[in-house]
């Protein structure tokens, strides 16, 4: 199948590429751009490991085709880390050992940041509910809930 030209902004940089129409965004980010911080776990939108931001909202990179991202702004864990947007959450995860193998972590952090943007002081139940679309097989979630709670408290409600 013929490749299609797309143009998008990834982590603030303009990217132009020819992509196969069937290639999903996560594969494009990983294979074409080398942004391997976006992980692939199930490729059917269940596990959340491939979470990225598309025009500011967290989406599943495996459920968006690269061609659909044409003209969009995409931010990955690498970009938001370098921009310092997630620092408080990242330090909270590290201090609380809220990750073990780290494979789910980029997606989990992006989801956690979105939660704190919508609700600066979520309860434990609200945290658990919101991150239920991001699977973690290592921690059993308790430490992740603690870390998000701690990050919310440390930011005093200001999570921008």
Partner 1 sequence: MSDVTSPGLTVLDRPNSYIGRSIPRPNLQRLTEGRGQFVSDLNLPRMVHVAFVRSPYAHARILGIDTSAAKAAPGVVAVVTGKELAEVMTPWVGVLSHLKGLKSAPQHAIAVDRACWQGEAVAAVVARTRAEAEDAAELVAVEYEELEPIVDPEAALAPGAKVIHPELGDNLAFERVLDAGEVDKAFAEADEVVDVTFEFGRHTGVTLEPRAIVADWNPSEQRMTVYQGTQAPHMMQNIIAKHLGLQESQVRVICKDVGGSFGIKVHVYADEMAAVALSKMLKRPVKFVADRLESFVTDIHARDHKIKAKVAVKKDGTITAFEIDDITGIGPYSMYPRTSGIEANQVVNLVGGPYKTPNYRARARVVFQNKNVMCQYRGVGHPIACAVTEGLVDLAAQAIGMDPFEIRRRNVIPDDAYPCSSASGLKFEALSHQASLDKLYEMTNYEALRQEQAELRKRGIYRGIGLAAFIEVTNPSAAFYGVGGARISSQDGAAVRLDAQGSLICHVSVTEQGQGTEAVIAQVLATSFGVPIDRVRVITGDTDATPYGGGTWASRAAGIGGEAALQAGKALRENVLKVAGTILQAQPQSLDIRDGIIVDADTGRERISLDEVARIAYFRPDTLPHDFQPELMVVRHYVPKKYPFAFTNGINACWLEVDVETGFIKLLKYWIVEDCGTIINPQLVDEQIRGGVVQGLGPALTEHCVYDDRGRLLNGSMMSYLVPMAGEMPDIEVGHVVSPTAESELGAKGAGEAGTAGAAAAVVNAVNDALSPFGVRITKIPIAPEVVLRALGRI
- Which residues of the shown chain bind partner 1 in the complex (CB under 8 A)? 20, 22-23, 30-31, 34-44, 46-47, 49, 76-78, 81, 86, 90, 93-97, 99-106, 109, 124-125, 127-129, 131-145
Please state the closest distance from residue 98 (CB atom) to partner 1, in A.
Answer: 8
Give the burial string for 114-138 (b: 16+ CB within 10 Å, else e).
bbbeeeeebeeeebeebbeebbbee
Smaller CB distance to partner 1: residue 71 or 140? 140
At 152, list the tokens: 């919310």
Of the candidates 67, 44, 40, the residue with the CA atom closest to the CA atom of residue 52: 40
**What percentage of the chain's residues is helix, strand, coil (to nearest 5)?**
40, 15, 45
Smaller CB distance to partner 1: residue 15 or 143? 143
> Do the beta carbons of residue 72 and residue 55 sit within 8 Å?
yes
Please state the closest distance from residue 138 (CB atom) to partner 1, in A.
Answer: 5
Smaller CB distance to partner 1: residue 71 or 118? 118
Please state the closest distance from residue 119 (CB atom) to partner 1, in A.
Answer: 15
Smaller CB distance to partner 1: residue 121 or 129? 129
Q: Give the whole-angstrom CA distance, residue 80 versus residue 135.
A: 21
Counting Cα atoms < 13 Å in the Cβ hemisphere of 44 gives 1
Smaller CB distance to partner 1: residue 6 or 98? 98
- Name the β-bridge partners of 15: 8
At 137, list the tokens: 């097989």
Please state the closest distance from residue 137 (CB atom) to partner 1, in A.
Answer: 5
Please state the closest distance from residue 55 (CB atom) to partner 1, in A.
Answer: 20
């Amino acid at each position: 199948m013929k490749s299609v030209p797309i143009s998008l902004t990834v982590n603030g940089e303009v990217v132009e590429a020819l992509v196969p129409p069937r290639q999903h965004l996560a594969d494009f980010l990983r294979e074409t751009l080398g942004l391997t911080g976006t992980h692939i776990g199930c490729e059917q939108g269940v596990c959340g490991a491939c979470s990225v931001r598309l025009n500011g909202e967290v989406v599943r990179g495996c459920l968006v085709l690269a061609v659909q991202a044409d003209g969009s702004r995409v931010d990955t864990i690498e970009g938001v880390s370098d921009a310092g947007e997630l620092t408080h959450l990242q330090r909270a995860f590290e201090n609380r050992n809220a990750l073990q193998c780290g494979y789910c972590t980029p997606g989990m952090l992006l989801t956690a940041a979105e939660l704190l943007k919508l609700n600066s002081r979520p309860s434990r139940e609200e945290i658990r509910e919101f991150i239920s679309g991001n699977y973690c097989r290592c921690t059993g979630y308790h430490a992740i809930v603690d870390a998000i709670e701690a990050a919310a408290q440390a930011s005093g409600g200001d999570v921008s």
